[in-house]
Amino acid sequence: MKKSRWLIVFLTLCLVMLSVTAVFAETSYTAQPNDSLSLIASRYGTNYLVLAAYNEIEPPYIIQIGQVIRIPDGLEAGAQQPASAPQSAPAAAAPAPAAPVAAPNFSGGFEYGGQTQSFANKELMKSIGMNWVKFQHKWSPGDSPDAVAGRINDAHASGFKVLLSIPGANTYPAPGGIDFGSYVEFLRGVAALGPDGIEVWNEMNIDFEWPAGEIDPASYVNNMLAPAYNAIKSVNPNILVIGGAPSPTGFDNGTNAWADNRYIAGMAAAGASRYMDCMGVHHNAGATSPNATSGHPGGSHYSWYFWPTLNLYYNTFGRKVCFTELGYVTPDGYGGISPHFGWAADNTIDEHAQWLSEAVRLSSNSGKVRLLIIFNVDFTHYDPNGDPQAGYAIVRPDGGCPFCGAMGG
């Protein structure tokens, strides 16, 4: 009787093992150059998180050329995921995007310019070698592309290339999230007006600019960057498409913010390089020379320093980057500064001028920077208890421009 019972148990275990083997039968795929986990998943009609879990690949889901990716049985190469299939990624995520309509243009020598509000200092900008001007337009659903037409025409008539940075107004304007479709169509309309560059959104890794709980680099790439790239390039393949610069921060709770190093690694894993000519970078919290790698009052985090920040972004994507905001703030001429910017309380106007000029020269000589936009030329708003935008300006309250002198202008 006991022998019969054990025999039944043994046969049952064998059947279970055979069933498990059948369930987990698999094929494999070897990662090729320019592959991402998201791209491979799309080929097999599944979601990148399915392959990540199956292969025990942890966030930010980076894979290497030659890495063998195990594919669960039942997934066939070339399969298309049904539109109604549930997604394992966050609610804002989307299936892998369409192939790029044009190959990204990673060539181009160093150029630089400045962000302005009034564009009243054109001749001064030219005198110090600037040939780009950046304007920011905060988009809302219903906006007409014509809202930026005057700025584009003015820049071109004045001999400047124009970069438009287009984030959202009021953080993320659509009820319940971002209206990706309307945003992409707005960029398509802007592209038809002939700007030289478009930065697709801005600081997507923090809840000031992206819905809390939905921050996810794959969502940004799939829902926004890739369709925006295709929309822009289908109108004018010569427009420089720049990936939105994340907020340079180490704060990371997965809900309100992702640290920018983790975020850009996730962008790379999601195939962002296929959908941008350049990756945007912000560096606006310096309190040391750009050649320094220690001594900042804020601490040792890489974002306080020029070279560690540049190298992080360059190495993540392996291509030249675009500084869409680079600046040093000083309270000189304005009095006090907000406690949130307390690390800059001792920055002098001479240091402001010297550090900016050094950053331009270092960027030009590095071979790692395609475009550098000084933040800023001539902003006038200064809140000693809040945002000190005018403290970054190269044109100071007395009308002088010490940075111009440092640049030989």
Enter the tokens of residue 198: 């478009």
State the residue range of the domain holding 62: 25-76
The domain that holds 30 is classified in CATH as 3.10.350.10
The pTM assigned to this predicted structure is 0.78
Do both 39 and 141 map to the same domain?
no
Judged against a pLDDT cut of 80, whether residue 36 lies above it is answered with no
For residue 281, the cross-strand partners are 323
**Distances, alpha carbon 92 to alpha carbons 205, 214, 223, 248, in Å:** 14, 6, 8, 23
The answer to whether residue 11 sits within a structural domain is no
Do both 115 and 70 map to the same domain?
no
Q: Is the peptide bond before 60 cis (omega within 30 degrees of 0)?
A: yes
Q: What tens digit of pLDDT does each residue of 187-230 get?
A: 999 999 999 999 999 999 999 899 988 999 999 999 999 999 99
The answer to whether residue 244 sits within a structural domain is yes
Q: What is the mean pLDDT of residues 114-123?
A: 96
Do both 63 and 170 map to the same domain?
no
Question: Residue 286 carries which side chain, given as an amino acid letter?
Answer: G
* Percent over 70 (pLDDT), the chain: 82
- Across 311-377, where does the E strand assignment appear? 321-326, 369-374
Residue scoring higher pLDDT (268 or 169):
268
Q: What is the mean pLDDT of the chain?
A: 86
Do both 349 and 400 map to the same domain?
yes
Decide which of 76, 101, 136 is a domain's last residue: 76
The answer to whether residue 17 sits within a structural domain is no
pLDDT band at 95 (very low <50, low <70, confident <90, very high): low
Determine the Cα–Cα distance for residues 60 and 273; give it in Å rounded to an integer: 15
pLDDT at residue 122, rounded to an integer: 97
Residue scoring higher pLDDT (348 or 61):
348
Instruction: Kindly state the DSSP code that residue 117 receives in the 8-state scheme.
Output: S
Enter the tokens of residue 332: 């000189």
The answer to whether residue 84 sits within a structural domain is no
Do both 64 and 130 map to the same domain?
no
Domain count within the chain: 2
Judged against a pLDDT cut of 50, whether residue 79 lies above it is answered with no
Helix/strand number for the chain, H first, E second: 12, 10
pLDDT at residue 97, rounded to an integer: 87
Q: Please answer whether residues 273 and 230 qualify as being in contact, where contact means their C-beta atoms are separated by less than 8 angstroms.
A: no
Determine the Cα–Cα distance for residues 57 and 37; give it in Å rounded to an integer: 10
Judged against a pLDDT cut of 90, whether residue 181 lies above it is answered with yes
Backbone angles phi, psi at 67, to 5 degrees: -70, 135
Do both 179 and 120 map to the same domain?
yes
**Distances, alpha carbon 288 to alpha carbons 176, 246, 305, 308, 401, in Å:** 41, 21, 7, 13, 20
Please count the other Cβ atoms lying within 10 Å of the Cβ belonging to residue 75. Answer: 18
Backbone angles phi, psi at 139, to 5 degrees: -85, 145
The answer to whether residue 181 sits within a structural domain is yes
Do both 152 and 57 map to the same domain?
no
Judged against a pLDDT cut of 50, whether residue 1 lies above it is answered with no
pLDDT at residue 70, rounded to an integer: 86
Judged against a pLDDT cut of 60, whether residue 125 lies above it is answered with yes
pLDDT at residue 3, rounded to an integer: 41
Do both 118 and 31 map to the same domain?
no
Buried b / exposed e over 307-319, threshold 16 CB at 10 Å, is: eebbebbbebbeb
The domain that holds 298 is classified in CATH as 3.20.20.80
Question: Residue 36 carries which side chain, given as an amino acid letter?
Answer: S
Q: What is the mean pLDDT of residues 239-248?
A: 98
Please count the other Cβ atoms lying within 10 Å of the Cβ belonging to residue 371. Answer: 28
Q: What tens digit of pLDDT does each residue of 273-301 get?
A: 999 999 999 999 999 999 999 999 999 99
Q: Please answer whether residues 228 and 200 qualify as being in contact, where contact means their C-beta atoms are separated by less than 8 angstroms.
A: yes
pLDDT at residue 177, rounded to an integer: 81
pLDDT at residue 73, rounded to an integer: 65
* Percent over 90 (pLDDT), the chain: 70
Do both 145 and 215 map to the same domain?
yes
State the residue for tokens 């920011």.
136
pLDDT at residue 341, rounded to an integer: 95
Strands 321-326 and 161-166: unpaired
Judged against a pLDDT cut of 90, whether residue 60 lies above it is answered with no
